[in-house]
């Protein structure tokens, strides 16, 4: 067993970690102590003589050597900001986030001799770093435990109880759809296996389970990614909480509901008005949006002045946000003119009906509706709507060659399949959910792209 305690300085990682180790008859290591041992001087001295970069380099070396360690590890407060560290710490282990309120952390660290990382006054620095680091802590955590105002032995008891995992086998309530054999696979999971999934309706076409389960195996994580296919997002979230789910990828039609259900959201999800990623830690739900990055990355380097987004839902909002970040002029076209106008108004764009696309003469078209998905033979655009040389990006990725892309290719357009969006948003989403950075070439390798 490998248990890793993460969190800000003063959260009690060393004290609680030693108690957990003693009760589980496991060895205990503190990464800060190992850094000092390797350097032969104290951490304040490392900062004073060589700077923070030297400290982080030593920390990375120490943590890399703990990938196969079995025992309890207490980490430095900034360790999990480095995805390489997270990959080493999570390999074969369970990460526990210890949290306390800023006021308590300030009190506990008041007498510390650690150097300032920001140049801010101590109290301001604590609040600023807690705020900026929290997304990294949540991403890297399997278990969240509050240590503020509690006796360390009680916190250790809670951690040990959580390490035991679920009391019984996993099963989904009536109303959830699963592919053949998945019910049996879920029932056979170990009690401590982390659970993630795709939330949507329909969702059984998703390639996310294939990708995530392969990545979990690659990074040595005891985790399973499954399907939460249900028309009611409230039912999905209630079930996820009851099962201790750690992360949800969110697809149509639940992206707006996912954002509304979250306790906090990153700035991208808030601006877009939709979330495709939820990280659950205890009772807390954090929302983010990586769809926009999946749209932006394949279009980087495409010179254009005018772009059109087809659709007015959550994916369309992410596409508008991405295109504006590339400084394109954007027009929203949809079958429902009122919805197109409402979305365009949020971002200060033009809007119109799909039949009017020729009037706008776009150089880039992003299709952001489900039309053409999973055997649907339709396309929102006819051949005469497409001008040769236009870049057509269809966000539908199943099938890879959609009716729209076939029509566009025949008209001499440059085509970008939805698999490109899937690859890049998945890289970002895996980082949000696990704290581990995966390269796009690795995702392509897993997907056979």
**DSSP category for residue 115:** P
Cα torsion at 198, 204, 209, 210 (round to 10°)?
A: -160
Rounded Cα distance, 352 and 249, in Å = 31
For residue 182, what are its two tokens? 């998945």
Q: How many helices (H) and strands (E) does the chain have?
A: 20, 17
> In residues, how long is the chain?
449
Rounded Cα distance, 294 and 206, in Å = 16
Instruction: Name the active-site residue from 2, 13, 255, 400.
Output: 255
For the sheet with 350-353, list strands across it: 350-353, 329-334, 306-310, 364-367, 391-394, 414-416
Distances (CA, A) of 213 to 87, 96, 279, 430: 15, 21, 17, 11
Query: Any catalytic annotation for residue 255?
Result: yes
Rounded Cα distance, 433 and 425, in Å = 12
Secondary structure of 21-46 in the HEC alphabet? HHHHCCCEEEHHHHHHHHHCCCHHHH
Question: Dihedral of CA 150/152/153/157: which sign?
Answer: positive
* Residue whose C-alpha is closest to residue 91's, from 59, 66, 126: 66
29 contacts 74 by C-beta, under 8 angstroms? yes
For residue 21, what are its two tokens? 């180790």
Secondary structure of 273-311 in the HEC alphabet? CCCCEEEEECCEEEEECCHHHHHHHHHCCCCCCEEEEEC
* Residue whose C-alpha is closest to residue 262's, from 284, 238, 231, 247: 284
| Three-state secondary-structure class, residue 78 | coil
318 contacts 336 by C-beta, under 8 angstroms? no
Rounded Cα distance, 49 and 212, in Å = 43
Give me the active site residues, please. 255
């Amino acid at each position: 067993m490998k248990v890793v305690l993460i969190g800000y300085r003063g959260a009690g990682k060393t004290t609680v970690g030693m108690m957990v180790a003693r009760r589980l008859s496991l060895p205990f290591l503190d990464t800060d102590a190992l850094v000092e041992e390797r350097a032969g001087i104290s951490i304040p001295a490392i900062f004073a003589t060589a700077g923070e970069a030297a400290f982080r380099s030593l920390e990375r070396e120490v943590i890399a050597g703990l990938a196969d360690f079995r025992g309890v590890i207490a980490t430095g407060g900034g360790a999990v900001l480095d995805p390489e560290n997270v990959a080493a710490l999570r390999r074969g282990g369970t990460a526990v986030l210890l949290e306390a309120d800023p006021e308590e952390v300030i009190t506990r660290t008041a007498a510390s001799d650690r150097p300032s990382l920001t140049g801010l006054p101590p109290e301001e620095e604590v609040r600023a770093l807690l705020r900026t680091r929290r997304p990294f802590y949540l991403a890297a955590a399997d278990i969240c435990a509050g240590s503020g105002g509690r006796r360390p032995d009680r916190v250790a008891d809670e951690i040990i109880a959580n390490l035991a995992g679920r009391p019984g086998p996993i099963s989904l309530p009536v109303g959830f759809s699963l592919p053949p054999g998945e019910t049996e696979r879920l029932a056979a999971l170990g009690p401590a296996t982390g659970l993630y999934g795709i939330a949507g309706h329909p969702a059984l076409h998703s390639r996310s389970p294939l990708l995530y389960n392969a990545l979990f195996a690659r990074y040595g994580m005891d985790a399973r990614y499954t399907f939460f296919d249900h028309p009611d997002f409230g039912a999905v979230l209630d079930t996820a909480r009851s099962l201790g789910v750690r992360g949800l990828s969110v697809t149509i039609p639940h992206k707006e509901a996912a954002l509304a259900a979250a306790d906090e959201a990153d700035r991208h999800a808030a601006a877009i008005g939709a979330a495709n990623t939820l990280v659950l830690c205890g009772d807390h739900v954090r929302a983010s949006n990586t769809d926009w990055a999946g749209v932006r990355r394949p279009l980087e380097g495409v010179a254009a002045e005018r772009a059109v987004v087809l659709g007015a839902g959550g994916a369309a909002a992410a596409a508008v946000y991405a295109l504006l970040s590339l400084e394109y002029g954007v027009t929203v076209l949809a079958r429902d003119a009122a919805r197109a106008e409402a979305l365009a108004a949020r971002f200060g764009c033009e809007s119109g009906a799909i039949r009017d696309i020729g009037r706008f003469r776009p150089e880039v078209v992003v299709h952001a509706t489900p039309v053409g998905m999973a055997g649907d033979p339709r396309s929102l655009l006819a051949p005469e709507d497409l001008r040769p040389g236009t870049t057509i990006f269809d966000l539908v990725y199943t099938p890879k060659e959609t009716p729209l892309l076939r029509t566009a290719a025949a008209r001499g357009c440059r085509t970008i399949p939805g698999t490109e969006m899937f690859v890049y948003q998945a890289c970002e989403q895996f980082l949000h959910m696990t704290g581990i950075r995966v390269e796009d070439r690795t995702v392509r390798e897993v997907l056979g792209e």
